[in-house]
Structure 1
Amino acid sequence: MGDGGVGRRTFLAAMTGSGAAATAAADPAADPAAAETADGAAGGPEAEIRALVGRMTVAEKLGQLQQLAWTGATGPGGSQTASAEQAARKGELGSVLNIFGARHSNALQRIAVEESRLGIPLVFGLDVIHGFWTTFPIPLAQAASFDPEVARVDGEVSAKEARSNGIHWTFSPMMDVTHEPRWGRIAESCGEDPCLTSAFAAAKTRGYQGGDLAAKDRVAACAKHFVAYGGAEGGRDYNTVDVSESRLRNLYLPPFKAALDAGCATVMASFNTLSGIPAHANSHTLTEILKEDWEFDGVVVSDWNGVGELLPHGFAADGADAGRIALTAGVDMEMVSTHLADHGAELLASGRIKEDRLDDAVARVLRLKYALGLFAQPYVEEAEAVPGPTPQTRKAAREVAARSMVLLKNEGEVLPIGPGKAVAVVGPFADSRDMQGTWAGPGGEKFPPVTVLHGMRDGAGRGARVTYGVGATKAADVVVVVVGEGAKLSGEAASRSDLGLPGDQEELIEAVAATGIPFVVVLLNGRPLTVGNWVESASAVLEAWHPGIEGGHAIADVLYGKVNPGGKLPASFPRNVGQVPVHYNHENTGRPYDPKSPGNTYVTGYSDVERTPQFPFGYGLSYTTFEIGTPKASVARIGAGELRRGETFEVEVSVRNVGEVAGDEVVQLYVHDPVASLVQPVRRLRGFERVALGVGEAKVVRFVLGAEDLGFWTNAVDGRFVVEAGRVDLYVGSSSDARSACTIQVD
Structure 2
Amino acid sequence: MMPSLPHRFLAGGLTPVAAALLLALTGCQPKSATPETTSIAVPATAAKEAAATRDPAAIWPKLAIPRQGNAEEEAKVAKLLAAMTLEQKIAQMVQPEIRDITVEDMRKYGFGSYLNGGGSFPAGNKHATPADWIKLAEAMYQASIDASQDGSTIPTIWGTDAVHGHNNVIGATLFPHNIGLGAANNPELIEQIAKATAREVMVTGIDWVFAPTVAVVRDDRWGRTYEGYSEDPEIVRNYAASIVKGLQGAPDADFLGNERVISTVKHFLGDGGTEGGIDQGDNISTEQQLFDIHAQGYVGGLQAGAQTVMASFNSWHGEKIHGSKYLLTDVLKTRMGFDGLVVGDWNGHGQIKGCSNDNCAAAANAGLDVYMVPTPAWKPLYENLVAQAKSGEIPQSRIDDAVTRILRVKVRAGLFEKPSPAQRPLSGKTDIIGSAEHRAVAAAAVQQSLVLLKNQQALLPLNPTQKILVTGQGADNIGMQSGGWTITWQGTGNNNTDFPGGSSIYAGIKTQVETAGGQVQLSNDGSYQQKPDVAIVVFGEQPYAEGNGDIDNVEYQRGNKTDLALLKKLQADGIKVVSLFISGRPLWVNAELNASNAFVAIWLPGSEGHAIAPVLFSDKDSKVQQDFRGKLSFSWPNGPDQTKVNQADADYQPLFAYGYGLRYADAPEQAASLFRAPLTETSTSHTSVSALPLFERDIKAPWQFVLQSAEQSASVSSNQQTLGSVKLQSFDRKVQEDARLISFDGSAKASVALRSNFPRDLRAFGNKEAVLSLMLKVDSPVTAPVELSMLCNEQCSASLDVSPQLQQFTAGVWTELQVDVSCFTSKGVDLAQIAVPLAISSSSKLQLSFAELKLLPQGTADAVKLQCPQG
TM over 0.5: yes
Is the contact between residue 297 and residue 364 of structure 1 (CA under 8 Å) also seen in structure 2?
A: yes
Q: Distance in 1 between matches of 2:400 and 2:439?
A: 45
Structure 1 equivalent of residue 371 of structure 2: 334
3-state DSSP of counterpart to 1:184: coil
Aligned amino acid, residue 115 of structure 2? L
Aligned amino acid, residue 354 of structure 2? A
Structure 2 equivalent of residue 670 of structure 1: none
Q: Distance in 1 between matches of 2:63 and 2:226?
A: 32
Is the contact between residue 512 and residue 617 of structure 2 (CA under 8 Å) also seen in structure 1?
A: no
Cα separation, partners in 2 of 1:183 and 1:317, compared to 1, 3 Å: closer
Q: Distance in 2 between matches of 1:459 and 1:272?
A: 46
**Pair 1:304 & 2:346 matched:** yes
3-state DSSP of counterpart to 1:142: helix
Q: Distance in 1 between matches of 2:475 and 2:437?
A: 26
Q: Which moved more, 1:299-308 or 1:502-511?
A: 502-511
Cα separation, partners in 2 of 1:47 and 1:257, compared to 1, 3 Å: same
- 1:385 Cα deviation (Å)? 2.0
Structure 1 equivalent of residue 151 of structure 2: 117
Q: Which moved more, 1:239-248 or 1:406-415?
A: 239-248
Q: Distance in 2 between matches of 1:549 and 1:483?
A: 16
Q: Distance in 2 between matches of 1:499 and 1:3?
A: 36
Q: Distance in 2 between matches of 1:546 and 1:153?
A: 19
- 1:517 Cα deviation (Å)? 2.2
Q: Distance in 1 between matches of 2:539 and 2:63?
A: 49
3-state DSSP of counterpart to 1:346: helix
Aligned amino acid, residue 370 of structure 2? M
Q: Distance in 2 between matches of 1:12 and 1:559?
A: 55
Pairs within 5 Å for 1:218-237? 218-237=260-279
Structure 2 equivalent of residue 316 of structure 1: 354
Aligned amino acid, residue 65 of structure 1? M
Is the contact between residue 213 and residue 373 of structure 1 (CA under 8 Å) also seen in structure 2?
A: no
Structure 1 equivalent of residue 320 of structure 2: 278
* CA deviation profile, 1:141-176 (whole Å, cap 9, x unmatched): 111101112221111101001012111111110011
**Pair 1:400 & 2:428 matched:** no
Q: Distance in 2 between matches of 1:204 and 1:403?
A: 17
Q: Distance in 2 between matches of 1:427 and 1:264?
A: 42
Cα separation, partners in 2 of 1:577 and 1:48, compared to 1, 3 Å: same
Q: Distance in 2 between matches of 1:191 and 1:250?
A: 14
Q: Distance in 1 between matches of 2:642 and 2:62?
A: 43
Is the contact between residue 553 and residue 643 of structure 2 (CA under 8 Å) also seen in structure 1?
A: no
Q: Distance in 2 between matches of 1:492 and 1:142?
A: 22
Pairs within 5 Å for 1:200-599? 200-211=239-250, 212-310=254-352, 315-316=353-354, 323-336=360-373, 338=378, 341-381=382-422, 384-387=427-430, 388-433=433-478, 434-441=480-487, 445-447=498-500, 449-460=502-513, 461-469=515-523, 470-472=526-528, 475-488=531-544, 490-502=545-557, 503=560, 504-560=562-618, 561-586=624-649, 588=650
3-state DSSP of counterpart to 1:447: coil
* CA deviation profile, 1:521-565 (whole Å, cap 9, x unmatched): 001111111111221231111111110111233344444442211
Aligned amino acid, residue 360 of structure 1? D
Q: Distance in 2 between matches of 1:268 and 1:576?
A: 35
- 1:81 Cα deviation (Å)? 2.1
- 1:378 Cα deviation (Å)? 4.7
Is the contact between residue 347 and residue 357 of structure 2 (CA under 8 Å) also seen in structure 1?
A: no
Q: Distance in 1 between matches of 2:307 and 2:325?
A: 20
Structure 1 equivalent of residue 672 of structure 2: none
How many aligned residue pairs are there?
558
Q: Distance in 1 between matches of 2:460 and 2:95?
A: 51
Is the contact between residue 65 and residue 332 of structure 1 (CA under 8 Å) also seen in structure 2?
A: yes
**Pair 1:190 & 2:229 matched:** yes
Aligned amino acid, residue 567 of structure 1? G
Aligned amino acid, residue 539 of structure 1? N
Cα separation, partners in 2 of 1:547 and 1:431, compared to 1, 3 Å: same
Structure 2 equivalent of residue 90 of structure 1: 108
- 1:451 Cα deviation (Å)? 1.2
Q: Distance in 2 between matches of 1:404 and 1:350?
A: 55
Is the contact between residue 110 and residue 156 of structure 2 (CA under 8 Å) also seen in structure 1?
A: no
3-state DSSP of counterpart to 1:435: helix
* CA deviation profile, 1:367-416 (whole Å, cap 9, x unmatched): 11112211112512468424231111111111111111111111111000
Q: Distance in 1 between matches of 2:387 and 2:546?
A: 39
- 1:188 Cα deviation (Å)? 0.9
Q: Give the alignment's Cα RMSD to 1 decimal.
A: 2.3
Q: Distance in 2 between matches of 1:60 and 1:92?
A: 7
Is the contact between residue 214 and residue 228 of structure 2 (CA under 8 Å) also seen in structure 1?
A: yes
* CA deviation profile, 1:419-466 (whole Å, cap 9, x unmatched): 412211111111222211221358984536311211101122421111
Percent of residue pairs bearing the same amino acid type: 30
Is the contact between residue 279 and residue 546 of structure 2 (CA under 8 Å) also seen in structure 1?
A: no
Tell me, which stretches of 5 or more residues in structure 1 are unaligned?
14-42, 71-78, 594-610, 627-747
Q: Distance in 2 between matches of 1:232 and 1:95?
A: 30
Is the contact between residue 269 and residue 303 of structure 1 (CA under 8 Å) also seen in structure 2?
A: yes
Structure 1 equivalent of residue 135 of structure 2: 103
**Pair 1:165 & 2:204 matched:** yes
Tell me, which stretches of 5 or more residues in structure 2 are unaligned?
1-56, 123-132, 167-171, 619-623, 668-871
Cα separation, partners in 2 of 1:475 and 1:319, compared to 1, 3 Å: closer
Is the contact between residue 507 and residue 609 of structure 2 (CA under 8 Å) also seen in structure 1?
A: no
Cα separation, partners in 2 of 1:465 and 1:278, compared to 1, 3 Å: same
- 1:106 Cα deviation (Å)? 0.4
* CA deviation profile, 1:22-66 (whole Å, cap 9, x unmatched): xxxxxxxxxxxxxxxxxxxxx512111111111111110000001
3-state DSSP of counterpart to 1:131: coil
Q: Distance in 2 between matches of 1:619 and 1:491?
A: 27
Q: Distance in 2 between matches of 1:453 and 1:345?
A: 57
Structure 2 equivalent of residue 39 of structure 1: none
Cα separation, partners in 2 of 1:117 and 1:167, compared to 1, 3 Å: same
Structure 2 equivalent of residue 649 of structure 1: none
Q: Distance in 2 between matches of 1:581 and 1:247?
A: 16
- 1:128 Cα deviation (Å)? 0.3
State the TM-score, normalizing by the size of structure 2: 0.61
- 1:492 Cα deviation (Å)? 4.7
Q: Distance in 1 between matches of 2:614 and 2:582?
A: 14
Aligned amino acid, residue 531 of structure 2? A
Structure 2 equivalent of residue 720 of structure 1: none
**Pair 1:80 & 2:100 matched:** yes
Q: Which moved more, 1:147-156 or 1:205-214?
A: 205-214
Q: Which moved more, 1:474-483 or 1:219-228?
A: 474-483
3-state DSSP of counterpart to 2:520: strand
Is the contact between residue 569 and residue 619 of structure 1 (CA under 8 Å) also seen in structure 2?
A: yes
Q: Distance in 2 between matches of 1:557 and 1:257?
A: 35
3-state DSSP of counterpart to 1:10: coil
